[in-house]
Structures are given as structure tokens and as C-alpha cells.
A = this chain, B = another copy of it.
């Protein structure tokens, strides 16, 4: 029995990443219903909105699901209170110290997963009692670590370092990459960008279409001195790049960034001035299927790939 399937009580070790402005209850319900794990991304939600999404998700499926909580979220106490009240079974924490919330969640019987970008933080998670970790490679969309370690290098090193289950994230867009992640030592995969471009994703159609048209070199990790984020290069990115090339101070980069850029890009579909957070695997994304169709397709690709590998 797969360790992640046992831990989460799910059928397939395939997890849909919690993503700002993309993964509300509709997407999470579709993935959980297929036997994977759907995740609500709470980072773009006010507390009341989060509660509404959890309730709608519970009505739509009786299967396990999770909520992703960036630990730097300004209203995190309210989010965590709602998670307890609504009996969320699994919480993925990210962007912060796993020591801060793990004991509180574990005391309430909640399974805790933390996202890490390197071996050092993976070891710290294990020490702090986290149940499983997501190791997220440099190719992943949105906020990212400063070490720039890719999935190919990160997965085997993290798998060798810890004894808790390891979920691979970053660069996984089809069943071939799921196979690769398992070969490298992962117990499960977390898929973001590919699920962001499905019918059930809350992202604006302009955004989904832009990702569909992206080629391999269209995303880049930028704003490394402020908050490293992977996005599609556009007019907003060019402004940041110009400022950085002139050695702008972090405060100046933050001023250009302003507030609400991700909402503008992903949710409102402003492809010029919005922040188009998405992973490097965008170049492989060519359609907007339903999450269920995508899930079946990836399972088929995975099984076909496993069958195709021959011993030397």
C-alpha cells in the first residue's frame, strides 16, 4: 500500500496543489471525487470565503480533501480556527516555519504536510512532527525557494534524507513526469499548473489561454531579492526586470509590485499588468480539459510509461 494513500485515505497518490485564485471547492471536489486529493488554496481567500469553500466542498464530496495555508498569511489565526471548526482532515502548510503550527494542528487530529525547497527544511519538518512533506522544485509556479534546486535533484536527496513520505512537486504536467517522480523516490505527486488549466479552475479564461500558448522558455523565477516567484514574462515582468537591471532597492521592487497583482493576472485576466504565476511546465499544456478527464489521462499516461520502461 502506498504510504500517502494510507495517510490521506485516498485511492491514487495524486494531489492537486492549493493555488491562489485557481483552486477553490470546484477543482478540489473534482480531484477528490476521482480518488486523488483535492486542495483548497486559502492564500487568496478572506476567512468567510474560505469557510464557504470548505462547506461547499464537503457537500460536493464525501472524500478526503485538504486546505493549503501559507504560514505568512496575515489572518492566519482566523483561517486555522475555521479549519478546526469545519473539521478539515488534512492541512498543507507552506512559506513559513513548520514548528509554529504543527503541534496545534496535530493536537486536533489534523494530518500536517509542509512544503520545503531543500533537504535542511525537510529534516526540520520531520523533527517537528510533520506527517509528510512536499518537496517543491525550482520549476514550480508561484512562490519558490532561494536555493533553485530542481525536482530532478531535490526529490532523490529529500527521499534519502527523511523517513516520512515525500510528495514531489514542480514540473509535473503529465503521466511521464509522475513516473519520473516515483522513480526518483517520491511517494506521491502534487500537480499545480496542469490543474490550473482545467474547466474547474477559478482562473480567468484569458490566463488559461495564455498558459496554453506558452512555450518552454516563457516563465522565469523573478524578484529574487524580495519574494522569489515564477511567472510568465509580460509587461509587468519587464518593469520589474528594468528596475532590477538598474539595481533598484527591494523597496522599489515592492512599490512596482504593489498589491493585488496576482488577482489581477490570474483571476481578472489582465495579461499585461497582472502577475501571471504559473510553473515552467506551461509549455507542455495545450488544452483545457475537465479535472476528471485530465486525471484519467494522466493515469493512463503513467501506466503506459511504466509498461514502456525496460531493464538494461
Contacts and interface: CB of A to CB of B under 8 A. Distances in A.
Contacts of A137: 150, 152
A171 interface: yes
A172 interface: yes
A20 to B, nearest CB: 21
A281 interface: yes
Contacts of A247: 245-247
A186 to B, nearest CB: 10
9 nearest interchain CB pairs? A152-B171, A247-B247, A180-B180, A179-B183, A147-B217, A150-B150, A180-B183, A139-B150, A153-B280
Interface of A: 12-13, 118-120, 137-139, 147-154, 156-157, 160, 170-174, 176-177, 179-185, 215-217, 220-221, 245-247, 280-281, 283-284, 299, 302-303, 305-307, 309-312
A149 B280 contact: yes
Contact of A152 (B13, B150, B305): B150
A16 to B, nearest CB: 16
B309 A303 contact: no
Given A216-B154, A247-B246, A179 B312 contact: no
Nearest to A146: B217
Given A119-B283, A147-B216, A216-B119, A152 B180 contact: yes
B284 A157 contact: yes
A303 B181 CA distance: 16
Given A216-B147, A310-B306, A152 B172 contact: yes
Contacts of A305: 183
Contacts of A220: 148
A150 B179 contact: no
A177 B184 contact: yes
7 contacts: A139-B149, A139-B153, A150-B280, A156-B284, A157-B284, A183-B309, A306-B310
| Max chain B Cβ within 10 angstroms of own Cβ: one of A119, A120, A309 | A309
